[in-house]
Amino acid sequence: ISLTLHARCSQCLWSLRMDLCHVPTTREKGWYLALMAPNVKGPNYAWLDPSRLYCHPQGLQDCVADLLQPFQGDPIDMVAGIDAMGFILGTAAATILRKGFLAIRKAGHLCVKTLAQPYTDYSGREKVMEVRTDAIAPGLRVLLVDQWIETGGTMRAAIQLVEQLGGPTCVPTGIAAICIEDSEGGRWIQEHYKCSHCVPPRLKPRFNSHQ
């Protein structure tokens, strides 16, 4: 029995490795979304985990390329990513654009002077976000990046920080996330800012209903 189980486990691990190396012949926008894993730990976690997508070399490249495509030709001075998973996509985007990267952190992690903004995240928990005060100047054009926008509370807090530090002339150039759900907050963000996401229209209803 142990040998049989070992063989099955080895086969599963090999399938996983093959899956993370396979690149489809036709790469339509969003093909890499199938690499994401569903939540198996209950309601205290997000309904879907995109981090497996980042393990796939071509999947990660195509995801970032799709996020940046709507901003081709737009003036961008800096990319800002939101703690914590927004750091991954944000840094990748900044590298491609050859721009600097600003980390917008959860409170308590920065040892320099900061500006803080309270917010409520997708799970309903009250939190505080902060950013260093010496990185954003008036008129700076910032692309804000996060992994996911569900209720919009986290992204709105980041927008407020950028606009407070930069003043009336500093408006985010754009908002980018793998998915922007059709929540009240998600709709508000899309109505007020240029946005980019990776979910094809035919799949949006399923993502909005967390299927």
Domain assignment present for residue 12? The answer is no
Cis, bond preceding 84 (omega within 30 deg of 0): yes
Domain assignment present for residue 133? The answer is yes
Q: What is the pLDDT of residue 44?
A: 84
Domain assignment present for residue 190? The answer is yes
Domain assignment present for residue 1? The answer is no
- 105-128 average pLDDT score: 95
Q: What is the pLDDT of residue 167?
A: 79
Q: What is the CATH number of the domain that holds 88?
A: 3.40.50.2020
**Residue position matching structure tokens 């240029």:** 194
Helices 184-192 & 153-166 angle (0-180, nearest 10): 30
Number of domains in the chain: 1
Query: Per-residue pLDDT tens for 2-56?
Result: 444 444 444 444 444 547 889 999 999 999 999 999 999 998 889 999 999 999 9
Domain assignment present for residue 166? The answer is yes
φ, ψ of residue 162 to 5 degrees: the values are -60, -45
Query: Per-residue pLDDT tens for 174-204?
Result: 999 999 999 999 999 999 999 999 999 999 9
Domain assignment present for residue 14? The answer is no
Pairing mode, strands 142-145 and 179-180: unpaired
Full residue range of the structural domain in which residue 44 is found = 31-208
Q: What is the pLDDT of residue 184?
A: 96
pTM of the complete model: 0.89
Q: What is the pLDDT of residue 20?
A: 80
Q: What is the pLDDT of residue 70?
A: 98
Supply angle C-alpha 22, 51, 34, rounded to 5.
45
Domain assignment present for residue 142? The answer is yes
Domain assignment present for residue 11? The answer is no
